[in-house]
Amino acid sequence: MQPFMKSRTIKYTTVIVLTISLIIAAVPSLVCAYTLSGYSWDDVTPLKYKKDSGMSAASSTAWSSSVSDWQPSDANFQLDSSNYEVYLSDTYNSGIGWDGITVLTTSGTTILSASAYLNTYYTSSYAVTQRRSVSGHELGHVLGLDEHSGWVLMEPSTYNRWHLYYIYTPTQDDFNGVNSMY
C-alpha cells in the first residue's frame, strides 16, 4: 500500500499531515522536551486501532510492542478491527528515505483518523528494538507529537534515536507531551 497514493484519494477538505522518520543523521541535541504537532484527537479513551492482517510478522510485533509502550500515557489504545480510527501496517518502498510514516486526516486541529506504516525496505533488516523504535516514534505522531531532536522517542533520525541513544520506548518527555494534550 502506498501512503502517498492513499492520501491523494482523501477529499480536498481534509488536511493531510505527513510526518516521517529520516534515515539520515541529524545534529544531536541534549535539550529534552517535546513538540506538539498542533493536531490532537477529541478523545483517546479509547483510541481504537486496527492492525493490517497482511503485514509482516515482524512489523506486527513492533506495532503491538509500541502500543503497549504507550499505554502508561493518558491515551488508551484499544484494538477494534471493526470500528477503528488508527490503521497500522507496513509497506515496501525502496525509492524513499523514510523507514516509518504517519498520515493524519484532520479537520481544523482535530485528528479524525491516522494511518501509520513501517517501510520494510529498511525495517526488515532492523533489530527488534530498532524496529520498535520506529513504530513507537510513529505512534507518537499518531497521538499528535511532532519531531523533537534529542534523547527522546520523537527524535526524527533513527540513527540518532536507536544507534546513538538506544531509545525505543517513550521517555518521560514523550509521555509529558501526550499528557499535555489529553
List contacts with Zn ion (CB under 5 A). Answer: 19, 21, 147, 156
Among 79, 15, 73, 82, residue whose Cα is nearest residue 47: 79
Closer to Zn ion at the Cβ: 19 or 135? Answer: 19
Torsion angle of alpha carbons 145, 68, 42, 181, nearest 10°?
A: -40
Closer to Zn ion at the Cβ: 21 or 106? Answer: 21
Q: How far apart are CA 93 and CA 85, in angstroms?
A: 24
Closest contact distance (angstroms) between CB of 8 and Zn ion is: 21
Closest contact distance (angstroms) between CB of 177 and Zn ion is: 13
Closer to Zn ion at the Cβ: 43 or 166? Answer: 166
The one-letter amino acid at 27:
V
Closer to Zn ion at the Cβ: 21 or 66? Answer: 21
Among 154, 19, 3, residue whose Cα is nearest residue 90: 3
